[in-house]
């Protein structure tokens, strides 16, 4: 199964330098993504999900290091690729959609030019050719009046329009994989919906695989086929959306689902998860143990590995797995 995967992350370990110490923020993380597949990476702030995304394209902040593991993409290990190889892959094979579109666009250059420049970076297009392609892309992301809009500066557009520009430049060079880091978090609720639908449409039209990082379970449920739940730098549970959200096995996932307000169960109030999230990937034992209702001594001393029944007919990497010594049976 893994041999044919588009993206295959194996045992990734990332550390962040804090003062003199190198704190592990992602530990033994493995995920697979097939062509056209959509995987949601879910977790709270600090769970390491954004770090994972950035590690895939080797764009960690200055204090971050890939300590161990592989990031196999198209037969290459991105974790060990040269900068020249990376440059071709970034934008060309893997596109990134960021969280805050105002912060990721150059404030002094027109948006059309920024898209065109991405086109030129990955092809031999002329200036006018690139501009035409940029306009075509802007139409594809449903931006109105492309000639006019293309000449505008980022601060002159609305949040939704800006994010469409970011998406346009992410797909400009025809990538096979789209990494999205909280793409709708900075937007108004109504606009969120539109952008998510746009992403779904583009996926279908262009056959893109999608890795969507978010803390919002609803977004994952709407957009992704599969989901991986992260806690303290490790994957706690993974499987199809239906399976994980419908019958969660890890206690953290169950806590997350209980904490989300549900329209279809009006009488049931959301419950928080007791305690505070772990600061970094724990060395031994389950990181969630201090907050888990089912924790015991085994949990505190032995780090649980992902395991579980390959129940049902599932594509992608394995079935419904949970890293828990005493997984629930789902409810």
Partner 1 sequence: MSRYIAGRLAQFVLVLLGVTLATFALLHLVPGNPARTLLGAHATAAEVALLDREWGLSRPLPAQYADYLVRLLHGNLGTSIYYQVPVSTLIGRALPVTLAMLAVGAFFGIAAAIPLALLAAVRQGRAADHAVRILPLVGLGMPPFWVGFILLIVFSLTVRLFPAGGYGTTPAQHLESLILPGLTVAAVTTPILVRSLRLALVDVLGSDFVIAATARGLARWRVLVRHGLRNALVPAVSVLAVNLGYLLGGSVVIENVFGLPGVGSLLLTGIFNRDFDIVQSVTLIYALLVVLINLGADLAYAALDPRVVLGR
Asked whether 273 and 255 are in contact (CB, 8 A), the reply is: yes
CA distance 324 to 331: 16
Structure tokens at 22: 């190198």
Helix (H, G, I), strand (E, B) or coil at 20: coil
Closest approach of Cβ 87 to partner 1, in Å? 5
Q: How many amino acids of this chain bind partner 1 (CB under 8 A)?
A: 31
Cα dihedral value 105, 110, 111, 115, nearest 10: -100
Does residue 19 belong to the site contacting partner 1 (CB under 8 A)? Answer: no
- Residue found under tokens 């990494």: 179
Does residue 98 belong to the site contacting partner 1 (CB under 8 A)? Answer: yes
E strand map for the chain: 7-18, 21-33, 38-42, 64-73, 76-77, 94-97, 177-181, 209-214, 226-231, 234-240, 321-322
For partner 1, what does the binding mask look like between residues 128 and 157, x meaning CB under 8 A? Answer: -------------------------x-x--
Closest approach of Cβ 89 to partner 1, in Å? 7
Choose, by CB under 8 A, the member of 71, 78, 130, 170 that binds partner 1.
170
Q: What is the DSSP string of 218-269?
A: HHHHHH-SEEEEEETTEEEEEEEHHHHHHS--SHHHHHHHHHS--TT-TTPP
CA proximity to 328, closest of 301, 302, 287, 295: 295
Q: Which is closer to partner 1, CB of 187 or CB of 324?
A: 187
CA distance 102 to 21: 33
Closest approach of Cβ 11 to partner 1, in Å? 24
Q: Which is closer to partner 1, CB of 118 or CB of 238?
A: 118
Choose, by CB under 8 A, the member of 22, 121, 125, 206 that binds partner 1.
121
Choose, by CB under 8 A, the member of 122, 291, 300, 326 that binds partner 1.
122
Closest approach of Cβ 184 to partner 1, in Å? 17
Does residue 186 belong to the site contacting partner 1 (CB under 8 A)? Answer: no
Does residue 262 belong to the site contacting partner 1 (CB under 8 A)? Answer: no
Does residue 92 belong to the site contacting partner 1 (CB under 8 A)? Answer: yes
Does residue 174 belong to the site contacting partner 1 (CB under 8 A)? Answer: no
CA distance 115 to 111: 6
Closest approach of Cβ 76 to partner 1, in Å? 15
CA distance 50 to 30: 15
Structure tokens at 278: 């772990």
Closest approach of Cβ 215 to partner 1, in Å? 19
Closest approach of Cβ 113 to partner 1, in Å? 10
Q: Which is closer to partner 1, CB of 103 or CB of 309?
A: 103
Binding site for partner 1 (CB under 8 A): 57, 59, 83, 87-92, 95-96, 98, 100, 103-109, 117-118, 121-122, 153, 155, 166, 169-170, 172-173
């Amino acid at each position: 199964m893994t041999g044919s995967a588009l993206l295959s992350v194996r045992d990734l370990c990332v550390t962040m330098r804090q003062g003199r110490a190198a704190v592990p923020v992602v530990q033994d993380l493995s995920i697979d993504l097939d062509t056209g597949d959509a995987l949601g990476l879910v977790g709270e702030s600090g769970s390491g999900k954004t770090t994972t995304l950035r590690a895939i394209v080797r764009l960690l902040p200055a204090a971050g290091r890939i300590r161990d593991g592989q990031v196999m993409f198209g037969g290459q290990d991105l974790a060990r690729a040269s900068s020249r190889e990376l440059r071709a892959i970034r934008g060309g094979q893997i596109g990134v959609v960021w969280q805050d579109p105002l912060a990721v666009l150059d404030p002094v250059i027109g948006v059309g030019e920024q898209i065109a420049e991405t086109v030129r970076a990955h092809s031999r297009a002329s200036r006018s050719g690139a501009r035409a392609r940029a306009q075509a892309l802007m139409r594809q992301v449903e931006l109105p009046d492309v000639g006019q809009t293309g000449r505008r500066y980022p601060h002159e557009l609305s949040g939704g329009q800006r994010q469409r520009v970011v998406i346009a430049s992410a797909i400009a060079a025809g990538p096979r994989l789209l990494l999205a880091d909280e793409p709708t978090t900075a937007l108004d609720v109504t606009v969120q919906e539109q952008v998510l639908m746009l992403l779904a449409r583009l996926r279908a039209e262009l056959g893109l695989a999608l890795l969507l990082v978010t803390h919002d379970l609803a977004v994952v449920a709407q957009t992704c086929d599969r989901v991986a739940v992260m806690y303290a730098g490790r994957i706690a549970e993974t499987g199809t959306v239906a399976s994980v959200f419908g019958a969660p096995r890890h206690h953290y996932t169950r806590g997350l689902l209980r904490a989300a307000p549900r329209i279809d169960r009006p009488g049931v109030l959301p419950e928080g998860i007791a305690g505070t999230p772990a600061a970094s990937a724990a060395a031994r034992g389950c990181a969630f143990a201090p907050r888990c209702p089912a924790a015991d001594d085994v949990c505190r001393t032995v780090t649980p590995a992902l395991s579980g029944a390959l129940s049902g007919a599932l594509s992608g990497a394995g079935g419904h797995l949970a890293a828990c010594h005493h997984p629930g049976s789902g409810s």
